[in-house]
Amino acid sequence: MTDTNPVENLSSAAEQIRAFNHVSFRDTDNDDWAYPIHTYKAAGNLSHLAHMLGQAIEQATRPAMRTYEDGRLLISGQGDPDAAVVQMLAASEDAVQHAQDLAAALGRLHSATSAMAVDTEGLPGFTEG
C-alpha cells in the first residue's frame, strides 16, 4: 500500500475484506471460486492476515498512549484518563490474544485443506494426460 495514513490503510483493508465477503458469497459456477484450491488459498491469505493483526492492534493504541503520556488525554463527561487507559490496554491484550488464537485456527484450516483436490474424471475441459 502506498497510503501513509494508518487509519486510511486499515479502512482500505476492511474494505477489501468486505469486498471478499461480497464476491465470495455469490453462489455461481465461477471457475475462480469453485475448487478446493480456492479454499486453500483463501485460508492461507486469512491466516497471513490474522498473523499481522496482533501487531496492528498494539500499534493502534499508540496515538492514545502518546496523548496520555503527554498528560493531554481527556475523556468525555469528565472521565478518568487513567481508568480509560487501563481499560484500553486490557482490551488490547485480549484482542491480541484472540488474534493469535485466530491465526492458529486459520493455520490449521489452511493445513487441513492442503491435500484437497477435485476428481476431474468426466468433467468437461479436463483430459487425462
Nearest 5 degrees, angle CA 121-CA 123-CA 125?
115
| Residue from 99, 89, 88 nearest 49 by CA | 99
Query: Residue holding cell 486510511?
Result: 8
Residue 1: pLDDT above 60?
Answer: no
Residue whose C-alpha cell is 484450516: 109
The length of the chain is 129
Q: Which grid coordinates belong to 55?
A: 501487531
pLDDT score at 123: 80
Q: Average of pLDDT values for 7-28? A: 91
Check residue 31 and give its pLDDT: 81
Whole-structure pTM value: 0.86
Residues 6+ apart with CB under 8 A from 26: 33
